[in-house]
Amino acid sequence: MMPQINQRKYMRQLPGFSLVELLTAIAVVGVLSALISLGVVRARTQAYKSTSSSNVRQIVTTLNLYALDNGGRLPDQVHPTTGQDWSGTLVEEGFLAENEVFSSPGDTFERVYDGEARSYAINSSKYTYLQNGYMAPWPKLGDTNAKPAEIALIPPNIILVGENFGGGNDGSGAVVGIAEHEGLDASTRDFYDDQGAFYGKADGSVAFRSSEEMKQYRADTDYGGDPRDPWKWKN
């Protein structure tokens, strides 16, 4: 065993860390922790996007299947006999097995109603220039003389459904089974920390678009029937 006096001398000779070295090490650990946290957030956001893209694709496919089984027409915004909105009709009539497909993991808007949140809205005529002869997949809510469009007559690039909480403000967002039937906002609602949202078109394709991309053709503006307009078309 090392004599006590020599042991103390040996310990005093051991190299130590300076204050600068300690602060540098702490800073490096902090940077690494931040990078790991950022990676986790990005991975979670990507998983959310993957789920929502799948939801939109499933909804668009189901809308097409409904039309094939109902004379080519899309479901009513509000069913004339059951009072269900379009999403409730798809579930009630067995075209979708569950409500969860209508809930986007990127939807953080609060609701004032209880129930399964509806994170997707349909493209109705609420914001279109009907007086200029435009058509949209769904008529303006409350127009009892109008019916949804025949799916075969809708141009392939026209939006059917998209991520949108469906209400005029955060507190009134739509819930499956609750009578809220608003269409997509003209300027779109951003999900995923304002990065954008997913939209499903009549041809079955799904795309992620930012608000700026969607505003290139606003639903409430007359573009003279430009075929690139994803909101509406002219016969």
pLDDT at 169 over 70: no
DSSP secondary structure, 100-147, as one string = GGG--TT----BSS-S-B--EEE-BGGGS-GGGTEE-SBPPTT-TT--
Distance CA 91, CA 31 (A): 48
Each domain of the chain, given as residue ranges in start order, spans 18-234
Q: What are phi and psi of 50, to 5 degrees?
A: -60, -45
Question: For residue range 78-122, what is the model confidence (pLDDT) as tens digits?
Answer: 888 888 888 888 988 999 887 788 888 887 777 777 777 788 888
Question: For residue range 194-229, what is the model confidence (pLDDT) as tens digits?
Answer: 778 899 999 999 999 887 888 788 888 888 889 999
164, 197 Cβ separation under 8 angstroms? yes
Distance CA 33, CA 158 (A): 44
Distance CA 94, CA 211 (A): 34
Q: What pLDDT score does 15 carry?
A: 61
pLDDT at 59 over 90: yes
pTM: 0.77
Q: What pLDDT score does 180 carry?
A: 56
In the sheet with 120-122, reading across from the earlier edge strand, the strands are 120-122, 159-163, 197-201, 206-209
Mean pLDDT taken over the chain: 79
Q: Mark residue 193 as left, alpha or beta (left: phi above 0; alpha: psi -120 to 50; beta: remaining).
A: left
* Residue of 52 and 178 predicted with greater confidence: 52
Distance CA 182, CA 29 (A): 49
